[in-house]
Amino acid sequence: MSVYDFNVMCQNGEEISLSNYKGKVLLIVNTATKCGFTPQYDALEKMYEELKDEGFEILDFPCNQFLHQAPGSDEEINKVCQLKFNTKFQRFKKVDVKGDNAIPLYKWLICQNEKGKAKSIKWNFTKFLINRNGEVVERYAPMTKPEKFIDRVKEELKK
């Protein structure tokens, strides 16, 4: 099984297959617009702009499960991200990333865990680096800023 086996919902309600991203390096992030880590959107957008032409994509999944820090509709969240942070990477419908109602993608992601790392999503801005084969190669904690792992992303892009 790989990330490409999952379907997710776009903000417009259309279901798409993550197989559309085959051969790309992905960063999957659960986000919130009213979180202390929300300023990471700036660094994520900078990373995306720098690396998108090399086959890099960021998949943004807003989530309101952590102290209701992603309030509002999908459209309102998108507007905040575009106007305040000028994000251009793909944002999907708001989802649950933990518990019984977690989307299948996130249930799979947390099982792709390296020994000793958290087996659930603990907070907003947990990040998963996916290689060109659709496999999780790294997981980054919410407090890990994108500039701390950009070199690791570049390594994957060279493969």
Going along the chain from its start, the domains and CATH numbers come out as 3-158 (3.40.30.10)
CA–CA separation, 90 vs 78, rounded Å?
Answer: 10
Q: Are strands 90-91 and 56-62 parallel, antiparallel or unpaired?
A: parallel
pLDDT in tens, 22-63: 999 999 999 998 888 889 999 999 999 999 999 999 999 999
Evaluate whether 90 touches 59 at the Cβ level (below 8 Å): yes
Percent share of the chain, pLDDT over 90? 72
The chain-wide mean pLDDT, for the chain, equals 92
* 14 band by pLDDT with thresholds 50, 70 and 90: very high
Is 10 a catalytic site residue?
no
CA–CA separation, 92 vs 74, rounded Å?
Answer: 8
Q: Exactly one of 35, 63, 81, 111 is catalytic; which is it?
A: 35
Q: What is the pLDDT of residue 69?
A: 84
Predicted structure pTM score: 0.93
Q: What is the pLDDT of residue 152?
A: 97
Inform me whether the pLDDT recorded for 117 exceeds 70.
no
* 71 band by pLDDT with thresholds 50, 70 and 90: confident
How large is the average pLDDT for residues 103-111? 93
- CA distances from residue 66 to 35, 76, 95, 113, 155 in whole angstroms, order as listed: 9, 18, 12, 21, 32
Percent share of the chain, pLDDT over 70? 96
